[in-house]
Chains A and B, each alone.
Chain A
Amino acid sequence: MPDIVRDMWDYLTSDAAWTGNRGLPALTWAHVKLSLVAVVVAGVLAIPPAVVLGHVRRGALLAVSVVNLGRAIPTFAIIVLIFPFSLRWGFGLGYWPTLIALVFLSIPPIFINTYTGVREAPADALEAARGMGMRGHQIVREVEVPVAWPLIITGLRISAVQVVATATLGALVGYRNLGTPIVQGFTQTNKGPLLAAAIAVVLLALLTDAVFAWAERRLVPWRRPAGRQADVTITAPQAATA
């Protein structure tokens, strides 16, 4: 055990760890960039339909199916399944198969949380809005979406943490990120880079969670009703929702 720690120390104090496109900063940036794009794309794809379905109060079965399917399909399997197709259709190695799989992975939590938040907007608030003469799209914009914000951000947070964790697997199909030293390290004698990268990934996941927790507090100064959150954590207990 001390051996591996010494290996890590040697690695961390060498130039190789900090410079070039194989250094930890470059790998971390590649990791963050991919995760960010994946969550943004998933948000753009998932939030509008979820808002519309939640507004018209239809599609509960669809919402439940999306969550169950997202849970049942292993991400690793998706990455490697997309991989051969990606090569065939000229999208190449690494980036695209990983990105597509990560988008699939992050749609369910964002979708279900947005849907639940909009659908369960308090009846008296809706009634008041209608009484003030608001029309459908105004109700969506000024009542339902603001009320759903806490849940939407929670959905983004669950997705983002999962995406950061799973992006590591992109290393297996040739996307160079923090997973690369881990994957290579399993078959190498010098386990220093492996341990350093593993710790970096854990820190990155925790940091992502912390950033969203902070955003949640900043953007949603009022407190989140406890009951509604419980409903979501039962159906999708997928990540740390402190």
Chain B
Amino acid sequence: MSGLGRVLAAEPLVDWSWVGDHTDDIWANFWEHLQLTALAVGIGFVIALAMALIAVRWRAAYGPLAAFCAALYSVPSLALFAILLPFVGLGFDNALIALTGYTLLILLRNIVTGLDGVPPAVREAADGMGYERWRRVLRVDLPLATPGIVAGLRIATVTAIGLVTVTALVGEGGFGRFINDGLSRQFSTPIVLGAVLSVALAIACDVMFVLLERLLVPWARVGAPGDPGRRHLVRWSWHRRTADA
């Protein structure tokens, strides 16, 4: 290990000609990073939405479902890859299952919080207009829960991007491949490149979701800046006040 230290300390931090020679790799890893992230968040969203609908219909189910997701969330990523190893081996399946597992808690909580935030008056009005239960959930409750849901997708996406980097250890990894390569070859350029690119991707996606949020729910721009949860709360309290008046 001390050999690694000496080599890394001696060379320049970033060898730009190496970066220039590897633009193809950068693209390939970029797409892989995005693909894994999108698949994990997409599959996670479908599962979390199903769980949220169950939790809304049968309230007693929410506690156990949330506890299950929380337990999954608290498992360290390296340990989860290792524990999945006997069942699915190394590689894509392992990475995807672990990544999806980490998105569940975030998405479930945000969808349920969003659905709970729908004002009872609105629900009653929809019921009074003759909406059937599930049609009301689809046409009224879910659209009104959009801010919370988008906030959940945003956190889940950013979390997944960070974790994709770690999946390099099970043979996937997107930009994490650079880091793994650099660590094993004792070469700092790919380490720095992989780290900087994954941070940049995370921040870019974060900003993108903020913009998406504004686009989808233009009426919700009240309250503290940059805080979807707070905005959500402020919005409904404002609603209630005007309804009372």
Contact = CB atoms under 8 A, between A and B. Distances in A.
Given A64-B225, A73-B162, A237-B110, 20 more contacts: A60-B224, A72-B158, A80-B191, A84-B188, A84-B191, A168-B77, A182-B82, A186-B81, A186-B90, A186-B169, A194-B82, A194-B85, A195-B83, A201-B76, A202-B76, A230-B113, A231-B229, A237-B106, A239-B70, A240-B71
B74 A209 contact: yes
Interface stretch (A46-54, A137-145, A169-177): A169-177
Interface in A190-218: 191, 194-195, 197-199, 201-202, 205-206, 209
Contact of A198 (B70, B82, B225, B232): B82
Contact of A205 (B9, B74, B163): B74
Contacts of A182: 78-79, 81-82
Contacts of B144: none
Given A74-B163, A194-B85, A206 B74 contact: yes
Interface in B47-94: 67, 70-71, 73-83, 85-87, 90
B165 A239 contact: no
Contact of B109 (A81, A88, A237): A237
Interface in B102-143: 105-106, 109-110, 113
Which range contains the number of B residues in contact with the other chain? 35 or more
B179 interface: yes
Nearest 7 A-B pairs (CB), nearest first?
Answer: A74-B162, A234-B229, A165-B76, A198-B82, A198-B79, A77-B195, A240-B70
Contacts of B214: none
B183 interface: yes
A68 interface: yes
B113 A164 contact: no
A242 B158 CA distance: 23
A239 B78 contact: no
Contacts of B82: 182, 185-186, 191, 194-195, 197-198
Interface stretch (B20-28, B38-46, B199-207, B235-243): B199-207
Interface string A56-68: 0000110011001
Interface of A: 1, 4-5, 60-61, 64-65, 68, 71-78, 80-81, 83-84, 87-88, 92-93, 161, 164-166, 168-169, 171-174, 179, 182-183, 185-186, 191, 194-195, 197-199, 201-202, 205-206, 209, 230-231, 233-235, 237, 239-242
Contacts of B161: 74
B192 A81 contact: yes
A239 B182 CA distance: 31
